[in-house]
Structure 1
Amino acid sequence: MGFKGSTSDGSLSVAAAAFLADYTNLQVQANRGDPANGVIAFQPTNAGSSRTKGVEIEATLRPSRRFSVSAAVT
């Protein structure tokens, strides 16, 4: 879910988003070493389940045509 907006003159723009992602049988690359020859390789493996949730907010202030300030937080 999110929102994006700006003032009519474009001097301020804001974007915000909230997210929630649930994963089951998540596949990831794992760094595995072979003890016989010491070679390290990436192998796909099942990491089980994962949940990610959070909020992102971005804003840009443009007090003049030649200057702007941006900020973001997650």
Structure 2
Amino acid sequence: MCTSDAMRLCSAEIPDVDRVTACMIRQRALLSDGCKAVFHYVPPAAAQPANYAPAAKPAKPLNITPHKRG
């Protein structure tokens, strides 16, 4: 999603992934829509209000073992 944006905006930082990531965050206003979705940032205070409680415990993974015919 972000390869062309990385080349266009942060080519000087390639191949250092951490520096490219930091550059992309700094340049987020200039990112393509698809890449903006990857770098969508929700500040921690906005992500969970002080009285936040999870709605439910996550379910166990489904068993996808094939049914044996016999």
Short-chain TM bin: under 0.3
TM-score (norm 2): 0.18
Bigger Cα Rg = 1
Instruction: State the structure with bigger RCO (CA 8 A, min sep 6), 1 or 2.
Output: 1
Q: Which has the higher strand share?
A: 1
| TM-score normalised per structure 1 | 0.18
